Structure 1
C-alpha cells in the first residue's frame, strides 16, 4: 500500500533508507522520533502520510529561512495547499496566510509564533492529522544558541492528545529521546538510520596560521567542485570571500545578518551553479537541497560532532564521491572552547535573573521564556547538564582532530554507531579518489564604449 501511494503521489518506486518505517509508524498513530542522515528525504516522511490521511499537518520549524525554503520547494513541485506563518511577515502577509488556513494541507509555523496565545487559539479547532517537530535536535541545544520556545511546545501538543507527533532530525545524541519526552510529556518510538555517509571522505589539515589556511583554500578551490566553506563569524566570512573573489572566482557569502532576499538570491545562484563557492557561517545549509556539492571545508570547526556531521552531510547528496576537510591550527582550540561554552547560562546567571538583577539581554530573554515552564531548581539542573554535554562534545571534536586511527570511527563513536566504510574513508585510512572538478574563474573582458555609456545612463 505504501509503495503504491509513493508512486501515485511522488512518482518514486522505492523508499530511501528509513523512510518507510517512519511513515508506517506515523500512520499507526505512534509518536515517532526519526533520525535520518542529511539529504535522505525527511520531508517525504510527513508529506506522504498527509496525502494518505488527507488531514492538515502542522510543521513547527525553528528557522524562518528553512520554513520559507520548504514552502517554496513544495510550491515549485505544484503543491498549492501550503502556507507559512511567522513573525518575519508583515501584518498583511500574516492576515492573508490566516485566510488560507482552512484550505491548507501543510501549515508551517515557528515555535515563537504559535505559542503566542492569540495565535494558538486560531489552531485549536483545526482537524490536524499530524504534528511535525522539524530539526528537533534544537530541543537539546539548551543555552545561548537554543530556541527556548521549543521547550514549551507541549502547550501546542497538549491541545491534540490524539494526534501523532513526528520529530525529525539528521543528527542526535543519546539524550535527544529523553529530552523530547521530557518536553512533550509523551513517549516516543525511536527509529534511527545509519548516520554515516560513506561517500564523503574525511580529513584534517594541520595549519600554521590564518593565512596558511587562506593560501590552501585558494589553491584547492580550483578543482574542488561546488564548495561550502564554513567559518565562525561574519567578519571572517567577508574577508575570505573577498580574497577568493580577488583571486578570480565568483563566490557568495551567507550569514545571519543578510536579509531574506539576499539569502534567497545567494541560495538560488548556488543551486544553479552560477556561483560554485559559498563562504558561510553555520546559518547556511538547512533547506538548501543541492545534490552535487562536492566539497565542504571547515575553516573553523564546529564545536560538537552533531553540528559537524550535519554540516558535512550537505555534500554528496547525489551519492557521488565527495569530501569534508577541516583546517586546524593550534590557536583554534581557544575559539572552539568559546563557541562551545563561552555563552553558557550559568547558575549565577539564573540567580541574577531570579533577583531581577541586570544580566546579558539574550540570556535574560531565554530565561524569561523558560521560567514560564521550569522552576529555578530545574533550570539550574538543566544548564548544569547542558554544560557537561557541551564539554563532552568539545572533547570529542578535539579527539577527532588529533586522531591517530580512523577518523570516521572516532566521529561516529560519539553517536554509538559503528563504521562500515572501507574505501575513501579518511586521510588516516587512505583516500584513493581525489575530487578533481574544475571551478572556472570569472571571465574578464574589455567592454566597448557603447557598453560603458549604457552603464552610466
Structure 2
C-alpha cells in the first residue's frame, strides 16, 4: 500500500532506509522520533503521511533558510498549498501567507512566531493532523539558554491533542528522548538508522598558534572543492574571510547579524558555485541544499559531538568522497570554554530572578519566557543538567584533538553506536587517506590550461 502511495505522490519506486518504518509509525498515530543521516530524505517522512491522511501538517522549523528551501522544493514538485511565515518576508508576502493558512497542506513556522498570542490565534482553530519538529536536536541544543521558545513547544502540542508528533533529526544527542518527554509530556517511538556517513573522512590537525593554522589553511584551500569553514565568532568570520580573499579566493561570509537578503544572496552564490568558500558561524548549513560540498573545515572545534556531526554532515550529500578537517591550537580551549559557560544561567541567576533582583537583560528575558511553563525548581534542575551536558560534550571534543584511535568510532560511541565495518577512507588515524583534490577558482579569472581542465574532469 505504501509503495503504491509513494509512486502515486512522488514517483519513487522504493523507500530509503528508515523512511518506511517512520511513515508506518506516523500513520498508526504513534508519536515518533526519526533519526536519519543528512541527505536521507527526512522531509518525505511527513510529506507522504500528509497526503495519505489528507489533514494539514504544521512544521516547526528552526531557521528561515530551512523553511525557504523546503517550501521551494515542495513548490517545484507542483505543491502550492504551502504557507510559510518568517521575519525575512515583506509585509505583502507575510499577509498573503497568513491568508492562505486555512487552505494549506503544509505550514512552516518558527516556535517564536507561533507562541506570540496574536499568531497563535491564527493556527489554533486549524484541524492539524501532524506536528513536525524539524531538526529536533535543536530542542536539546537550543531549547533553554539560546532560543527558549523551543522549550515551550509543549504549549503548541497541547493545543492539538489529536495530532501525531513527528520529531526528525540527523544527530540525536543521548538525552534527546528525555528532553522530548519532559518538554511535550509524550512518549516517542524511536526509529533510528546509523548516524555514520561513510563517505566523509575525518582528519584533525594541531598547531602551535593561529599563524601556523592560517599558514596551513590558505594553500590547502586550492584543492578542497566547495568548502564551508566553521568559526566560533563573527569577528573571526570577518577576519578569516578577509585573509582568504586576499590570498585569492572568492569568499562568502555568513553569521547571525547579516540581514535576510544578505544571507539569501550568500547562500545562492555558494549553491550556484559562484563562490567556492564560505566562512561561517554555526548559523550556516541547515537548509543549504547543496549536494556537492566536498570539505568541511572547523577552524575552531565544535562545542559538542552533536554539533560536529551535524555540521560535517553537510558535506558529500551526493555520496561522493568528502572530508571533514578540524583544526586546533592551545588558546582555542579557552575560547570554547568561554563560549559555552561564561553566560550560562546558574542557580544563583534563578534565585535572583525569583526574588526580583537585577539580572542582565538577556538572562532576564530567557527566564521570563521559561517561567511561563516551568517552575523555579524545574528551572534549577534543567540548568544544572544543561551545564553537565555541555561539560560532557566539551570534554569529548577536547579528547578528539589528541586521539590515537579511530576518530569515527570515537564520535559514534558518544551516540551509543559502534562501527562494524570501517570505510577505506575512514580517518587519519587508521587509514591512508587520499585528500580531496578539486581545484577552487581564484577570484581573478584566467584561462586554465589543458592539465587543469583534465584535473577538474577526473578528480
For the residue of structure 2 that corresponds to 1:107, the secondary structure is strand
Instruction: Give, in whole Å, the separation in 2 of the partners of 1:302 and 1:433.
Output: 24
TM normalised by structure 1 equals: 0.94
For the residue of structure 1 that corresponds to 2:253, the secondary structure is strand
Contact 1:424 1:432 in 2 (8 A): yes
Instruction: Give, in whole Å, the separation in 1 of the partners of 2:182 and 2:441.
Output: 51
Matches within 5 A, 1:438-449: 438-444=439-445
Contact 2:285 2:314 in 1 (8 A): yes
- Counterpart position of 2:178: 178
Q: CA deviation at 1:340?
A: 2.2
Q: CA deviation at 1:128?
A: 1.5
Instruction: Give, in whole Å, the separation in 1 of the partners of 2:67 and 2:416.
Output: 31
Instruction: Give, in whole Å, the separation in 2 of the partners of 1:444 and 1:274.
Output: 12
For the residue of structure 2 that corresponds to 1:279, the secondary structure is strand
Instruction: Give, in whole Å, the separation in 2 of the partners of 1:163 and 1:262.
Output: 37
Instruction: Give, in whole Å, the separation in 1 of the partners of 2:142 and 2:271.
Output: 32
Contact 1:86 1:109 in 2 (8 A): yes
Q: CA deviation at 1:87?
A: 4.5
Matches within 5 A, 1:189-338: 189-338=189-338
Instruction: Give, in whole Å, the separation in 2 of the partners of 1:302 and 1:63.
Output: 19
Q: CA deviation at 1:418?
A: 0.5
Instruction: Give, in whole Å, the separation in 2 of the partners of 1:252 and 1:144.
Output: 31
Contact 1:143 1:383 in 2 (8 A): no
Q: Deviations over 1:193-248 (max 9, x none)?
A: 10011110001111121121112111111111111000111111111111111111
Q: CA deviation at 1:29?
A: 0.8
Instruction: Give, in whole Å, the separation in 1 of the partners of 2:303 and 2:199.
Output: 23
Contact 1:39 1:317 in 2 (8 A): yes
Instruction: Give, in whole Å, the separation in 1 of the partners of 2:262 and 2:87.
Output: 18
Q: Deviations over 1:118-152 (max 9, x none)?
A: 32222222122211011211221267753211222
Q: CA deviation at 1:91?
A: 4.5
Q: CA deviation at 1:365?
A: 1.1
Whether 1:378 and 2:398 are equivalent positions in the alignment is no
Instruction: Give, in whole Å, the separation in 2 of the partners of 1:16 and 1:444.
Output: 42
CA-based RMSD of the aligned residues comes to 1.6
Long gaps (5+) in structure 2: 447-459
For the residue of structure 2 that corresponds to 1:194, the secondary structure is coil
Instruction: Give, in whole Å, the separation in 2 of the partners of 1:327 and 1:99.
Output: 49
For the residue of structure 2 that corresponds to 1:282, the secondary structure is coil
- Counterpart position of 2:452: none
Aligned length: 445
Q: For residues 325 and 16 of structure 1, do their structure 2 counterparts lie closer, same or farther at Cα, with a shift above 3 Å needed?
A: same
Matches within 5 A, 1:333-372: 333-372=333-372
Contact 1:56 1:128 in 2 (8 A): yes
Q: Deviations over 1:84-115 (max 9, x none)?
A: 12345454433322211122110011111112
Contact 1:250 1:442 in 2 (8 A): yes
Instruction: Give, in whole Å, the separation in 1 of the partners of 2:441 and 2:117.
Output: 53
Q: CA deviation at 1:167?
A: 0.6
TM normalised by structure 2 equals: 0.93
Instruction: Give, in whole Å, the separation in 2 of the partners of 1:338 and 1:37.
Output: 30
Instruction: Give, in whole Å, the separation in 1 of the partners of 2:432 and 2:172.
Output: 27
Contact 1:296 1:325 in 2 (8 A): yes
Q: CA deviation at 1:190?
A: 0.8
For the residue of structure 1 that corresponds to 2:23, the secondary structure is helix
Long gaps (5+) in structure 1: 446-457
Whether 1:411 and 2:411 are equivalent positions in the alignment is yes
Contact 1:39 1:289 in 2 (8 A): no
For the residue of structure 2 that corresponds to 1:326, the secondary structure is strand
For the residue of structure 2 that corresponds to 1:256, the secondary structure is coil
Q: CA deviation at 1:304?
A: 0.2
Comparing 142-151 and 186-195, the one that deviates more: 142-151
Instruction: Give, in whole Å, the separation in 2 of the partners of 1:81 and 1:180.
Output: 29
Instruction: Give, in whole Å, the separation in 2 of the partners of 1:422 and 1:66.
Output: 30
Contact 1:138 1:146 in 2 (8 A): no
Contact 2:60 2:133 in 1 (8 A): yes
